[in-house]
Chains A and B, each alone.
Chain A
Amino acid sequence: MTIPTVNTNFSEISKNATDHWKDITSGTRAWIRIGTALCGKAAGGDAILASVQESLNTRGIDALVSEVGCLGLCFAEPLLDIQMPGGSRVFYGNVRSEDVDSILNSHLVSGIPVTEKALGYLGEVAVDGIPNLDDHPMRVMTERIALRNAGVIDPYDINQYIANGGYQGLNKVLTEMTPQEVLDEVTGSGLRGRGGAAFSTGTKWGFLAGSGAPVKYILCNCEEGDPGAFNDKGILESDPSTVVEGILIAAYATGASNGYIFIRHGHDGPIDRARAAVSDAYRLGLLGDNILGTDFSFNLEIALTGDSYVSGEETALMEAIEGSRAMPRYRPPFPAQVGVFGKPTNINNVKTMAYVPEIVSKGGEWFSGIGHDRSTGTAILCLSGNLKYTGMVEVPMGLTLRQVIYDIAGGIPNDKSLKFVQTGGPLGGVLGADNIDLVLDFEVFREAGAILGSGGIIAADEDVCIVDLTRALIAFCQYESCGKCFPCRMGMSHLLEVLERICKLESEPGDLDLMRNIGGNMQAGSLCGHGQLGFNPVSSAIKYFGEEFDAHMVSHECGTGTCLRPKYSPNLTRR
């Protein structure tokens, strides 16, 4: 970054931002927000944006139009959110381009919201004939900490972040706290890594803080290759500055000098928005040398990887940042001693970092008061599959999966029943429907043989064939094996071969034992979680749905008929 750093007083930055926010929300113009995160785009958000601009131009209406991130109500995308000056926000869900002009005409010109097309309102002032969006099942039980600004602020406008309390945490640690006090606060909050391993964040930071090396790195992992999880990308698309601030606080606490946010190439939304948040932070003197006029200096940039699931593993990620093949390293030495470019390194997931500003602002005790047992705080869940309401929600740890699936996500549509849920990414395996009274808690999930992990929850109804889905999960794992450890590389291919045989109803006696044998070797002989946990999809499926495997293997029947239909998986593997 060559942008010159300007040292400015934080109160001045904050005042400018607050004035800017007042101007936006209670000035003279209406504020129109359209969700253009990945979910919004996939639902046609870009077309709605174009229709809004066309309608405003044609009618000569002066309004502020912003692209925002993900409010979490992905099922209702594209979402059109209109706020009249000083008024509440009114949300129109599943908007069609052809309806935009009439909505804007009624709402902006006549001042009458189109009640029959509105999903809800948010704000102090009730809107006649429109429900409060906070009463929607997808919002009732939410506790938005990491997602506090998602879908609210324009992710390209750092001043909107600052006006909503942003960078106050950084200012607080720089002016009032020693690095050790920050470490104590984060340790005391009970915050644990949300990337999958659930390790204490404060303890992890302590490892890096203990190194006296002059150059130390903080890495923030947004590789997020887990199919079914989109919350890391969602946070970066919705509120990238909270991640930047979290990284800065981590850097101050650990004495780190440099950092990277690591994102997969091709995810332009998260990449562009993270880049903007970083360059704006440099512009305001929140990154670079002598941040906010203090002795603290830190440099941050965005690093991209190619397509590689394993590059989300912490040491493989370091290889990718260095520009090599993303293959895990041997440990020890651990990253806190020898990490990226040979320097001491700490790595955290996007979600973990996104909590940090609020934890230092409100105190570790506040955060530890939310949640369940040793799993403090919230879970950021991505709900997909056969659910009435799909999307991204942040709820306190300790809710049951039943509450998540039936109360929040509205249950299974089309009068079907729940068959299983797949949690924590492909390596997390499946949980039979009988297990949905599990509470959201890292230990409880682990004891049940599942992984809460990164928060992906995919629900499947009775029409989904477990054998076919297991084959699909293993096809993914096989394709994504980096190839370094042969038990994983060859084991995954072998597992896929056996599962394809079972799907074709041509299995051989002893195939289950053969798979267990392969799985055991993978677990014992692989360097990283990809191989170590790679048998989970198979073992959990057999555990809960042994009879269905028997039907395929013994009586050679696929109850849903799925296995008889054509199947496709990539013919490329890592060469």
Chain B
Amino acid sequence: MIDGLKERISSAVHNQPQPTVTILSSLLAVEDELGYIPKEAIEQVSDLMSATVNDVWAVASFYPNFRFVPPCDHQIEVCWGPSCHIKGAMGLIEAVLDAVDMADEGDTPDGKVTVRYNTCLGACAQAPVISIDHNLIGGLSPKDAKARAVETMETERAHDTDGS
């Protein structure tokens, strides 16, 4: 367990910047802080919101941006929206998966990289777009995407699990 996990969760849910605090906003705050939603967070959010664990889990399980195990060191997202699809997203996905030696999206077994297909990264004019550790990169060829993925694999943890 991460040191001070309960304190970090507590601090995240009690220091939300906006006046309206809900189950969803609290879960998003935890996600920003830790990069995932641990069991302890479900419990704390249910206490905070006077909701049942079931109520909180219902929300957490609905939105696919939430994950329930600690994040990998790096995250590579490949956009597969139609603009990117037309500009070769499938080839990029293939190249990135090849680089990390996976058959489909998910976490590498060594916890190095998460690969996710994103429905739209919002930079359609630069298609095809990928995002490495939340930095957008447009217009890559499959070969360049593969090189970036390999480079990412070889880099030490780029960011702590602070959601930055």
Task: Give the interface centre of A38, A46, A391, A476 by most chain B CB atoms within 10 Å.
Answer: A38
> Is B117 in contact with A570, judged by CB distance below 8 angstroms?
yes
> Is B20 in contact with A321, judged by CB distance below 8 angstroms?
yes
Answer whether residue B93 sits at the interface, using C-beta atoms and an 8 A cutoff.
Answer: yes
Task: Give the interface centre of A44, A233, A480 by most chain B CB atoms within 10 Å.
Answer: A44
Given A228-B124, A306-B63, are A569 and B82 neighbors across the interface (CB < 8 Å)?
no
> Is B125 in contact with A323, judged by CB distance below 8 angstroms?
no
Can you list, as one digit per residue, whether each of B78-121 has a CB less than 8 Å from chain A (1) or not (0)?
A: 01111111110011011001000000111000000000010111
Partner of A42, one of B25, B27, B123: B123
Instruction: Give the shortest distance, in Å, between A420 (CB) and chain B (any CB).
Output: 10
* Contact partners of B122 in chain A: CB under 8 A: 38, 224, 230, 233, 267
> Is A306 in contact with B62, judged by CB distance below 8 angstroms?
yes
Partner of B119, one of A307, A326, A460, A571: A307
In the complex, A38 Cα to B136 Cα: how many Å?
8
* A41-70 interface (Cβ within 8 A of B): 41-44, 46
* Contact partners of A325 in chain B: CB under 8 A: 58-59, 62
> Is A74 in contact with B125, judged by CB distance below 8 angstroms?
yes
Partner of B120, one of A42, A228, A567, A575: A228
Can you list, as one digit per residue, whether each of A386-426 has a CB less than 8 Å from chain B (1) or not (0)?
A: 10001110000000000000000000000000000010001
* B128-144 interface (Cβ within 8 A of A): 129, 134-139
* Contact partners of A571 in chain B: CB under 8 A: 104-106
Answer whether residue B65 sits at the interface, using C-beta atoms and an 8 A cutoff.
Answer: yes
> Is B18 in contact with A301, judged by CB distance below 8 angstroms?
yes
Partner of A458, one of B31, B63, B83, B121: B83
* Contact partners of A304 in chain B: CB under 8 A: 24-25, 28
- Grouping DSSP codes into helix (H, G, I), strand (E, B) and loop, the B interface class, with mixed when no group exceeds half, is mixed
Q: Please report the total number of B residues contacting A with Cβ < 8 Å.
A: 55
> Is B135 in contact with A41, judged by CB distance below 8 angstroms?
yes
In the complex, A74 Cα to B136 Cα: how many Å?
14
Answer whether residue B23 sits at the interface, using C-beta atoms and an 8 A cutoff.
Answer: yes
Given A324-B59, A469-B85, A566-B90, are A385 and B127 neighbors across the interface (CB < 8 Å)?
yes
Instruction: Give the shortest distance, in Å, between B9 (CB) and chain A (any CB).
Output: 17
> Is B119 in contact with A322, judged by CB distance below 8 angstroms?
no
Answer whether residue A568 sits at the interface, using C-beta atoms and an 8 A cutoff.
Answer: yes
> Is A568 in contact with B125, judged by CB distance below 8 angstroms?
no
> Is B62 in contact with A326, judged by CB distance below 8 angstroms?
yes
In the complex, A426 Cα to B117 Cα: how many Å?
17
* Contact partners of A566 in chain B: CB under 8 A: 90, 94
Partner of A574, one of B31, B62, B129: B62
Can you list, as one digit per residue, whether each of A426-466 has a CB less than 8 Å from chain B (1) or not (0)?
A: 10000000000000000000000000000010101000100
> Is B81 in contact with A476, judged by CB distance below 8 angstroms?
yes
Answer whether residue A472 sits at the interface, using C-beta atoms and an 8 A cutoff.
Answer: yes
Answer whether residue A308 sits at the interface, using C-beta atoms and an 8 A cutoff.
Answer: yes
> Is B90 in contact with A384, judged by CB distance below 8 angstroms?
no
Answer whether residue A170 sits at the interface, using C-beta atoms and an 8 A cutoff.
Answer: no
In the complex, A77 Cα to B127 Cα: how many Å?
13
> Is B119 in contact with A225, judged by CB distance below 8 angstroms?
yes
Given A426-B82, A472-B82, A566-B90, are A41 and B125 neighbors across the interface (CB < 8 Å)?
no
* Contact partners of B86 in chain A: CB under 8 A: 385-386, 458, 460, 464, 469
Task: Give the interface centre of B18, B83, B137 by most chain A CB atoms within 10 Å.
Answer: B83
Can you name 24 A-B residue pairings with CB atoms under 8 Å? A39-B126, A46-B135, A225-B119, A227-B81, A227-B84, A227-B124, A230-B122, A230-B125, A265-B31, A275-B17, A301-B20, A302-B18, A304-B25, A306-B63, A307-B64, A325-B58, A382-B125, A458-B86, A469-B82, A469-B86, A565-B91, A570-B80, A571-B105, A574-B61
**Beyond A265-B28, A323-B59, A565-B91: 7 further Cβ-contacts under 8 Å?**
A42-B138, A227-B82, A228-B82, A385-B83, A392-B125, A476-B119, A566-B90
